[in-house]
Structure 1
Amino acid sequence: MQQPTNKIPLFSVTFRDFLIFIGIFACAIELCILLRMADSSDGFASPVFVLAVLLISRFTNGYLFGTLAAIFSVIGINYIFTYPYWEFNFTLSGYPLTFLTMFGVSIVTCTMTTKIKQQEQLRVEGEKEKMRANLLRSVSHDIRTPLTSIVGATSAVLETEGLSREEQRALLEDARDEAQWLIRVMENLLSITRMGDPRAQLSKNPEAAEEILGEAARKFRKRFPEIQVSVSVPDELLFVPMDAILIEQVLANLLENAATHGQTVTQIQLSVQREEAYARFSVQDNGCGIPPKELPRLFDGTLKRSETPSGDGKRNMGLGLSVCMAIVRAHGGSMEARNLPCGAEFSFRLPLSEKEYQAL
């Protein structure tokens, strides 16, 4: 297993950090100029620049800009804001102490900030490792069962004499269903891998939400013709920035989850609507609902096979839902599940584009 890395460049130079440095330092100089115009004393400069050093050290990476802020602050206090103005005077009492104070504030703040960022990075990478481990455990069990069924069904057709055409067809249909399920597992795994790759970029384009829902419903009806699916969309055309393939996969996972784990599901309502700056997608069913003890862990991939309602080893909804959560989060959205008076609802929200939101 890959070990988490906690290396953060201590003297990195980025355009963002440079802008923060220039902006805060310029504000400190401007504030000191205004204070000197209002008061003839010189004591205000030191605390203002100490605050500037603190802020620059806090909001930039590494030690470089914090150290530069300390050096330039001491120079600025001496050269600009201490008598005689616009001249250096290294004979001022307390001048070495001012420099040491600035430098100490910079080092301490940069050290604390770097450690906080390292801890946050370790936490995030630890969560990724935990998710990978959960996925490996889930997949190792989930793939074995359908493969065994496929081998058993095909072996029965090839090796058993005297099977009727109906019996052969039933066995082959079982093998086909198991193979289709394996394909969907592989699609989920590929999506998880893509979400975890920092080099991968989502291809988000404005897509008509009703088209995505319609396509997901069409494919679902082919696989579950006995379940009635209704689609509800706003009167006006709603465009949502998204990776259409991934969001369609989210909807497919949620629809299959409702059909598989709802047990008594006969109707599913698929809908989308505006909610302020977001588009809210919803999948509601009239099944048996979600066991309350499973609600807190639905999206973390830790649900075990024995905990699924059907007890079917390969029908582990934890994997599909953790994929859904990863995809939605990668789009900057959120996801939730709740029980209804009759059935359950899974919903997720995706941010609308600025143009779409302004049209509200």
Structure 2
Amino acid sequence: MQEPDSHSVDEHARSGPRPSAAEFLRANHDVLLTDWQQAMLQQLGGKEPVRPPWLIDHLPELLTTLADAVELGPEALDERLEAAHAAARLDAGFDLGEVAQEYALLRRCILHRLEAQERMLRPGDLTRLEETLDRVVTRTMTFFWSMKQRILQTLDRMSEATLDDPDMETLLERLLTRLMESALTVDTAAVMMLEDDALVVRAAVGLGTDEVKGLRVPVGQGVSGQAALERRPFFVRSAATDPRVLFEPLRRSGLRALYGLPLMDGERLLGMAYMGSRTAFAFSEADVLLFHAVAERASAHIAQTELHAREHEARKEAERSLALLDSLLDAAPVGIAFLDHDLRYLRINGTLARLNSNPVEAHRGRTLHEMVRTGAEAPIERALRQVLETGRPVQDVLLEGPDPVRGRAGVWRADCFPVRTPDGVLLGVGCTVVDITDHKRAEAALRQAIDFREELIAVLGHDLRNPLHAVNASAFMLGRAPDLDTGARRSVDRIRKATARMTRMINDILDFARSRLGGGIPVTRQHVNMVELCQGVLDELQVVYPERSLSLEVRGDDLWGEWDPDRVTQVLGNLVVNALQHAKSDTPVVTTLTGEPTDVVMRVLNEGDPIPAELLPRLFDPFKAGHLPDPGTKQRSLGLGLYIVSEIVQVHQGSVRVESVPGEGTTFTVRWPRVPPPRGYLPP
């Protein structure tokens, strides 16, 4: 900076009073700040910088200090201001050239303002101002460079601490040790990790190391917990006396300065780090800056360690899952495979690989067409493509062909399904193949046996009717002979009862055969009176069972409807005979008919032991006894009577149900619709 030429100003300016440099700086304090900021913007091309390059907090105080130093001497300069400025610039990532550029612009702004005012300073003041500014720049640069070198050396030593890949707590203690070795005023340091909703000391060095390890501070409590909640640094001038310090070992150690800051991974809080001094009430800017660098490096290592731990755990979990999957695939008797979007095999088990006549290893990365034998790949590929296109499973794809494992013809069922990630991304398609050859053969054999049995039953039932009619007619003729004694008449009655039972059994067998062989039980509807039909059935049964009480109760006037009369009498006959077989011998069997608007309700009630609960769900199944037989007695029924009842009622689109209550007897209730309900109607 040079003295302005005295010839460049007019005589009035030269003759007027000259201001001192201190007066000039104080008078133009705000103007110089504005000039400097504008000069910085011009230096950056007129664009707002991402990071502010000007001395936001330090320039105003720096101008004031310059004025004092020019007026009072160099001893008025405050080295702490220069150190704070250097530390702030180093912490913000500035290099030495950028800091020098800021001071150069400040010098230029002072000169331009002097020229603009056309004022000369007092003799020697401009030189003193220049010397003072040079002194500030030199000390700032020196402090900046020494701090940077110190930090670099510390970071190099910290890097050495990570070479043997120690665990996280050991690593943190090494980093804190490097801090204490570089900052002589630091007597203790620790790292608190965020665990759930509390800060837990996991690494510590210096005073109270063993005592503070494991101590917890809830987030939001104490000076460190509140700082963690607000994501900001904290400073305590006297930790031994400040009630906000919750760690008793720190208070007993007589700590003075205590400084802490949050450890961050982006926006995520990892924990807090603090350093304390027993000799100083405040840390220097260099120590604070060094601590920030150590904390930043610690945060990076913590985040990296957590990431590696998660990756390691994920890898172990994936290995465990793959091991379980491979074990399942190897042990499964079912063929299993997973394929990608191009239908290339990702995994396959030995069962399916043997069906494809290739080893497991040969399948991986190969396409379906390359590995599946000719003739079987087309239906499988269609199903797999459909799964990939729709995202829905395809089941029951039947495959037939030679079995390379058993050396015979085989039948398989394939099921295909989508394979997705937990968030729904379609990874590929899976396929299971089950050998159902033996099942199909057993199914065919069973079908053949059932058909043979039902055809045999139908033939026997039909051919037995003729000799049975002959026996029944003969018994009827014998019963009309006037000279029969009592014993002979009882024998004739037993023959008639036996033939009646046999007739019902044969009718049930024929109806069962019709229902199972197709076509169902035929019915021919007529407009008939339910009372007349039921009364006729009961009269016939009364002749066969003269010793039993059979009664009919009618409720309602209209009991006409469209029914098959033979089938109605068959239903009532089966229900009444069933009731006679299971009722007490001295109790009546009561039949009730009730006329309702759309139905006629038939109820058959008998008194006796209730039907066991385990029999009720299958009471109307064929070949099931109505009751469990008594020990030592023979089964007295084929178990077809109630099945035929259910089938006939269903053909009439009615319903049948049973209620059996101890002390109240057993009641079968049949609802007969008067007219056939519309198609699709479901009975209640």
Instruction: Give the greater-gyration-radius structure (CA).
Output: 2
- Larger relative CO (CA 8 A, sep 6+): 1 or 2? 1
**Which TM-score applies when normalising by structure 1?**
0.49
Higher helix share: 1
**Which TM-score applies when normalising by structure 2?**
0.28
